[in-house]
Every structure is written in structure tokens, then in C-alpha cells.
Amino acid sequence: MSQSVDSLLRLQLDKLQAFDRLLIEEHACLLRAATDQLPALTERKNSLLAEIDALERERIVQFGAQTEAGATSAPPLWSAVQTLARSIAEANQRNGAMISALMRSTEGALQILRGNAEGVDLYGAHGQGQPGNGPVRLQVSA
């Protein structure tokens, strides 16, 4: 079924806006350390990404030449799609960096709890960093 370039771009823009909202939701979960919500968000993101990919393939097949960057006949919606796609890529990279940092922090904590803190940076009594050098004894005083 063939669609007009404007209706196809409108669909792409709608899906990209929905994806952007998911990234905002994911970012909020990361800030709250609500990692239990991330798998469901990832599933929703993957599903929406498949829809966006299918729309993009259809756009390329039907209207690729009309909507290429710099084309004088490109519809105004194409610029909005490109701008939002760039913004989404940046937000996705930011969230990915946050997830990586959270994973490194969690792995470091697990190594300490397992008594294998070698190579894990610990903090001294005055906040100065100290490299881990073996089993760690946690001392708690009231």
C-alpha cells in the first residue's frame, strides 16, 4: 500500500516522538535507580524501534530521492524527522553511559562484598581514594 510522503513522514515523526518519551522515562528510572523497570522499557523500545525501522525502509523505497538531505523538494516534515532523530541518538547515548556507569558501580560493590576488591578503588577515612588490595573488612561504628 503506497502512502504519500507527508503521511509516511508524519508516521515516522509520531513513532520518533513516542521513542523520545520512552528515553525520557528510561532516564528518570536511571536517576531513581529503578533498574527493575528497565527490562520492560527495553522491550517497548525494541518494539518501537522495529516499527521506526520498517517505516524508514518504506520511506527509502518509495521516496528516498525526494527526502535526501539537501534536496530542494524535501518536505518540511523531513527536517523535523532528522532533527528529532539526532536528539534521540544523543539521549540514547546519555542513557547508555548512565547504564554503563551503574553496571560498573554494581560490579565494584559485588567484588567488595565477595571479598575480591583487588583493583577496586576504595575511599579512605578522609575521602581520599585508595586502591583495593584484597579482602575488605567493613567496620561500622555507632
- Which is nearest to 81 in space by CA: 48, 60, 49, 56? 56
Q: Which range scores top for mean pLDDT: 37-41, 112-116, 132-136?
A: 37-41
- For residues 98-107, average pLDDT: 84
Residue 23 binned pLDDT confidence (cut-offs 50, 70, 90) = very high
Three-state DSSP state, 128 = coil
Q: Answer with the residue of higher pLDDT: 109 or 13.
A: 13
Q: Answer with the residue of higher pLDDT: 50 or 71.
A: 50
Q: Answer with the residue of higher pLDDT: 8 or 107.
A: 8
d(CA 14, CA 28): 21
CA torsion sign for 19, 24, 25, 31 is positive
d(CA 102, CA 91): 17
Residue 142 binned pLDDT confidence (cut-offs 50, 70, 90) = very low
User: Is the model's pLDDT at 138 over the cut of 50?
Assistant: no
